[in-house]
Structure formats: structure tokens, C-alpha cells
A and B are shown apart, each in its own frame.
Chain A
Amino acid sequence: MEAAAAPARAIRVRGVTPGWAAAALAFLGAALVTGVVAGPVDIGVGDVLRSLGDKLGVPGVTSPLDATQESILWDLRVPRVLLAALVGGMLAVAGATYQGVFSNPLADPYLLGVAAGAGLGATLAIAYLPHALAGRQVLPFAAFAGAAVAVALAYGIGRAAGRERDSATLVLAGVTVASFFTALQTFVQQQNTDTLQEVTSWILGSLPNTGWSDVAVLAPYVLGATAVIVALRRTVDVLSLGDLEAASLGVDVRRTRLALVVAATVGTAAAVAVSGLIAFVGIIVPHAIRLVVGTSYRGLLPLSFVCGAGFLILADVVARTALAPAEVPIGVITALFGAPFFALVLRARGSRA
């Protein structure tokens, strides 16, 4: 048995290769810079860096910006860019997680009713709460609560109904709950036509200019959820073999799926609560990465977070500069630019395969 003496060939697993990690981080870095620099008030990259150095107390560096510029940079642009990064990263990593956990390439983070539930919660808040209350203070909580109720309901129905075909039943339960909540949301909206525009614009998604408060609220959810998902990334690949095969490899399918779904859902609900429903990021980002890099979930999940963050920062730049001073809903931008880009990637990949 000479063969056993020397494992002739090392087993290579494509996690995140250094090359792709560098490319993804470079993309995110470029997006961050673009996001901070873009806007009606002209602040150059060098000035941003010097202002950052000043803030960090680098000796000999003083900010060249005046008080207004400083305020625009640090109270408006930087938090907004970070908010976009958190929301985009979360939606992308949650979409990739759902695709693996449900062995369904079309799964997106809204699959189990997060969107419909958040939509209903937000609509109820906008329609029935006094206007002062329904603003940015209460709305996220109402949306988050609606999302949580919807997914919990879907999970409960799916568990009660499904024993053998666990994941398929869960998806069906999610679709059922989503249509029910969407119907309720539409009904409430039709009864309250005076707030129609506000509801519609929330549903199309937009990032608020609320400074650091939303960043501070959202960051723990997004970073916590992403940490759980990335820690379990090897198991997501096993789950993508389907319930029975994963179980035959000794995985506790229900509990692992529950942990992943809860992490992805809580993170998504938090993101949706501050940003509204931003379409398409959860599907397009993981698929674009898979088409270009062709990787397993173990690499896909961390790359999705980084690239989703960069993608949404850039989408937000377009949303706030294309028709400035008006803002285009960011959900419109992600779909408008995302869909053709995705079609191009698909085409390029198709002709190579």
C-alpha cells in the first residue's frame, strides 16, 4: 500500500481564497470612499483622510474642513454609508443563508414572510398612530415586530404540518403567511388612502438620514447575526445536500436550521425596520458571487456580506445623486441596476460554460 503512505494530493477547499478576499475588500473599500465623497457638498478623498486622521488623533494632522463640512461628513455621510453597508451586507448574507438552508436557489431573505410582516407592521404604524409617533422612532419597532410575528407564525405552521419534508413545508408556510399579511397590509392601506404615499415610499425602501442612532441600533443585530451565520458556514454546505443527507451525516438538521434561520431573520428584520424593503440584494449578490467565483457556501457567506455591503453603498450613492436633491427609492435602484447586471453575468457565464 504505497498509496496510503503519501496522500498523493492535498485536499483543496475553496473557502475564501486570498485573491477573492482582497478583491471583495477592495470593492468594499472603493464603495466606502465613493459613498463618503459623493454628494452635493464637495469633499475630496484627501480631505476625508486628513479629517479622519485628525479625529483619530494622528499627530501633525489637522482637518482642512470647516465646521459645516465636518458635520456633513461625520453626521450625515459616514453614518449613512455605514448604514448602507450594514443593510446590504445583512440582506446578502441572509439571502445566501436561506438559499443554502432551504436548498433553493431562489430563496431570498423575505422568503418566510419577513417583508410582508414588516410591511404590515409599518403600514399599521403609519396609518393608525398619531403622525408624530409614527415617524422614524416607532416605525422600525412596528416593522420589526410585524416581521417577527410573521416568521414565527410561518415556523409554527411549518413545524406543525411538516415532519418528513421539513424545509419544503416551511417554505410553503412562509408563502402562505406572506400572502395573508400582504392582503391585510393592502386592506389597511386601502382604508387609509391619506397615508398611501408614505406607505409606498417605505415599501420601496430608503435609507434614513438619522445619523449614528440607526447605525448604533442596527450594528449589533447585523454583526451578531452575521457572526452566527459565518461560524456555521461549513454546516450550511452540508444542509444544502437536503435534510435527509445532512441528517445521515450526523447534523441536527432542525436545530441547525433554526439557528441559521433565526440569525438570518432577526438580522433581516432589523435591516428592513430601518431601511424598508430593499428588493433583490439577497438574491443577486450571492448569485453573482457564485457565478464569478463559483464557490461553496463556506466562501460564499463571508464574501456575500462584504460584497452586499459594497453593492448597497453604491446603490445608495446613485439613489441620492441621480435626481438630486430628490432621492430615488433605493429599492428601485437595486432592481434597476441589479437586474441588468445580473443578466450580463448570467450571459457571460453561460457562454463560458
Chain B
Amino acid sequence: MNAIGLSQVTVSLGGGAVVRDVGVVVEQGEWVALIGPNGAGKTTLLRAIAGLVRHDGEVSLLGRPAASLDRRQRARAVAVVPQTPETPPWLTVAEYVLMGRTPHLGPLARESAGDRDAAARALELLELQPLADRALGTLSGGERQRAVVARAIAQEASIVLLDEPTAALDIGHQQRSLELLDGLRDHEGLTLVAAMHDLTLAAQYADRVLLMSGGRIVADGAPAEVLTEETLAEHYGATVRVVTVDERLAVLPTRR
């Protein structure tokens, strides 16, 4: 079954089209890196998939038209890890992760034992139990990022959209964070779509790379097919060397 199906998806913000006529199918269990220069429309496309912006065209999730899902059903199918998540400093990690259960609850409902178990499990998967009662305001950037991912895991949505999940992390935390996501993908059967700026990390972790430019998908394929020196020069205006290290690609910026 397809996890995500997009057909002629167009999003207009402030009069201009930010995402134009995007048609893509993502299989269940795929890890897709969404790359592209600043302003290419990556964040907006992720929001369209999650139903957070008005869009034209059709979005289907897990084989069902998204238009037929209500908000909570949609949020049970798709979890979002935003680029700069709001993390109120007074909330504890446990309380924050438990909020991932919101789409499973009515507006007046309280969390059941099952909801608490789901949150406890997410804490465990991200090795956050020792921090469960710590306030978010006291965490380091890497710990906070893990808490945000844990919230998405507690949501128990099989599609997870991540907007620059590693932007705020150092190189070690970037790798650990992506390894963790890769492990969760296998373990939980997740479909991951991640907007990424770091092309080497995209090449190393993703099965498939979508290159967006000017609101359109201009290249789609395995990392080696999309990440070529010519394509990156054309769409990023960048001079790079694409090299192979230990059978995986690395993209190196070079000086003209």
C-alpha cells in the first residue's frame, strides 16, 4: 500500500504558488529525503501532506483520500516533527510526550492507561526515561530534539514528516539522531519523509531523494541518481564534488 500519494498538489501562499503541481507516491516503509534550495517549498509541501495548509490537488494517506479524514484521523496517520518546535519550558518530558496522544483523545477526554503506556514506550525507545520528570527548559538541544521525536512516536502515526530534524544538532548528534530514526523506521515500520539541508546525510540515510526547486519536484530517485554535480549546480547554484566513500555518497562543497 502507498503511504502517501500526491497528485497535482499546489499550495498558494500570499498570492504566489509555493508548491506547484506536485505528484509523488511514497511507499510504506520508505525513507525519503526532501532536498532543495531555500524557498523551494519543502516545508510547505510537508504541511500540505499533514493537512496544515490549504491546498489544491489530491493527497491520499495509507490508501485513503485525505479529504475524507477528519483532523484527528489525519493526525493518527501523520505525525510532524517541526523545524523549530515550541517546547514550553515548564512542561516535563513525560507531559510533553504524552501530548502526542492528543489525536487519540476527544477534546474533553483524559489519557487512559493505554495512552500512558504508549508514551512510556516512546520514552523508552528514545532512551528518555531518566529525563521523564525533567522540565523541557532544562534539556540540551539534542535531548529536546529527542523529546520531540518521542512525542511523534507516541502519536503512533505510521507516517512521520520531519522538517530539518538535524538542523540544530552537532555532527555527532546528527548521526545519532538519524541512526535512531532509521532504527525506529525498521522497528516501528514507519514511513519517513524528511526535509534535509545536509546533502551528505541525505545521501547516507535516505532510500530515495526528492529534489524540489521553485515549488516543483525536479528530480526523484535513488541518491546516486539525484545527487549529481550537474543537478546540484543547476538548482543550488553550488559547485560540489560528489564522491563515494565506503559505498555511500558524500557531497563536498568546493571553491570555484
Interface residues in B62-101 by Cβ distance below 8 A to A read 71-76, 78-80, 82, 85-86, 88, 90-92, 94-95, 97-100
Shortest 6 CB-CB contacts between residues of A and residues of B: A250-B75, A250-B103, A250-B72, A7-B120, A249-B102, A248-B80
Residue of A nearest to B80 (CB): A248
Q: A7-B121, A232-B108, A250-B75 are in contact. List 5 more A-B contacts (CB 8 A).
A: A12-B132, A13-B98, A231-B108, A244-B52, A250-B73
B73, B75, B82, B110: which contacts A244 (Cβ < 8 A)? B82
A296 to B52, CA, bound (A): 26
Q: Give the segment of A84-92, A127-135, A234-242 that binds chain B.
A: A234-242
- Which B residues are CB-close (under 8 A) to A296? 88, 90-92, 95
- Which B residues are CB-close (under 8 A) to A234? 105, 109-110
Does A237 lie within 8 Å of B99, measured CB to CB?
yes
- How many pairs of A and B residues are in contact by the CB < 8 Å rule? 104
- Which B residues are CB-close (under 8 A) to A4? 121
- Which B residues are CB-close (under 8 A) to A245? 80, 82, 85-86
Does B129 lie within 8 Å of A8, measured CB to CB?
yes
Does B102 lie within 8 Å of A3, measured CB to CB?
no
Does A256 lie within 8 Å of B107, measured CB to CB?
yes
Does A237 lie within 8 Å of B95, measured CB to CB?
yes
Residue of A nearest to B79 (CB): A248
> Could you tell me the distance in whole angstroms from the C-beta of A240 to the nearest C-beta in chain B?
5
Does A232 lie within 8 Å of B107, measured CB to CB?
yes
Is A294 on the interface with B (CB-CB < 8 A)?
A: yes
A12 to B100, CA, bound (A): 15
Known: A13-B94, A241-B86, A294-B135. A251 touches B120 (CB 8 A): no
A317 to B13, CA, bound (A): 55
A103, A237, A241: which contacts B85 (Cβ < 8 A)? A241
A252 to B52, CA, bound (A): 11
Does B86 lie within 8 Å of A103, measured CB to CB?
yes
- Which B residues are CB-close (under 8 A) to A8? 120, 124, 129
Does B133 lie within 8 Å of A12, measured CB to CB?
yes
Is A66 on the interface with B (CB-CB < 8 A)?
A: no
Interface residues in A200-251 by Cβ distance below 8 A to B read 231-232, 234-235, 237-238, 240-242, 244-245, 247-251
A13, A242, A251: which contacts B95 (Cβ < 8 A)? A13
A9 to B134, CA, bound (A): 14
- Which A residues are CB-close (under 8 A) to B225? none
A333 to B35, CA, bound (A): 59
User: Chain B, interface size: which category?
Assistant: 35 or more
| A interface residue numbers (CB < 8 A to B) | 3-4, 7-14, 103, 164, 231-232, 234-235, 237-238, 240-242, 244-245, 247-252, 256, 290, 294-296
B13, B102, B132: which contacts A11 (Cβ < 8 A)? B132
A11 to B131, CA, bound (A): 11
A16 to B235, CA, bound (A): 54
A10, A242, A249: which contacts B120 (Cβ < 8 A)? A10
Is B207 on the interface with A (CB-CB < 8 A)?
A: no
A251 to B71, CA, bound (A): 7
A245 to B83, CA, bound (A): 11
- Which A residues are CB-close (under 8 A) to B51? 247
A9 to B95, CA, bound (A): 13
- Listed A/B pairs (16) with beta-carbon separation below 8 Å: A7-B117, A8-B120, A8-B124, A9-B123, A11-B97, A13-B95, A13-B98, A244-B82, A248-B80, A249-B155, A250-B76, A250-B102, A290-B90, A294-B135, A296-B90, A296-B92
A3, A14, A238, A242: which contacts B92 (Cβ < 8 A)? A14
- Which A residues are CB-close (under 8 A) to B61? none
Residue of A nearest to B94 (CB): A11
Interface centre among A234, A245, A248 (most CB of B within 10 A): A248
Is B119 on the interface with A (CB-CB < 8 A)?
A: yes
- Which B residues are CB-close (under 8 A) to A13? 92, 94-95, 98, 111
A14 to B133, CA, bound (A): 10
- Which B residues are CB-close (under 8 A) to A231? 108
Does A238 lie within 8 Å of B79, measured CB to CB?
no
- Which A residues are CB-close (under 8 A) to B123? 9, 11
- Which A residues are CB-close (under 8 A) to B162? none
> Could you tell me the distance in whole angstroms from the C-beta of A291 to the nearest C-beta in chain B?
9
A294 to B92, CA, bound (A): 10
Does B86 lie within 8 Å of A235, measured CB to CB?
no
Interface residues in B39-70 by Cβ distance below 8 A to A read 47, 50-52
A238 to B95, CA, bound (A): 10
Residue of B nearest to A3 (CB): B124
Does A250 lie within 8 Å of B71, measured CB to CB?
yes
- Which A residues are CB-close (under 8 A) to B72? 250
> Could you tell me the distance in whole angstroms from the C-beta of B46 to the nearest C-beta in chain A?
10
- Which B residues are CB-close (under 8 A) to A238? 99, 102
Does A248 lie within 8 Å of B85, measured CB to CB?
no
> Could you tell me the distance in whole angstroms from the C-beta of A244 to the nearest C-beta in chain B?
6
> Could you tell me the distance in whole angstroms from the C-beta of B94 to the nearest C-beta in chain A?
5
- Which B residues are CB-close (under 8 A) to A252? 71
A249 to B13, CA, bound (A): 22
- Which B residues are CB-close (under 8 A) to A295? 90
> Could you tell me the distance in whole angstroms from the C-beta of B164 to the nearest C-beta in chain A?
15
Does A251 lie within 8 Å of B102, measured CB to CB?
yes
Is B116 on the interface with A (CB-CB < 8 A)?
A: yes
> Could you tell me the distance in whole angstroms from the C-beta of B8 to the nearest C-beta in chain A?
22
Residue of B nearest to A15 (CB): B110
A240 to B116, CA, bound (A): 21
Does B129 lie within 8 Å of A241, measured CB to CB?
no
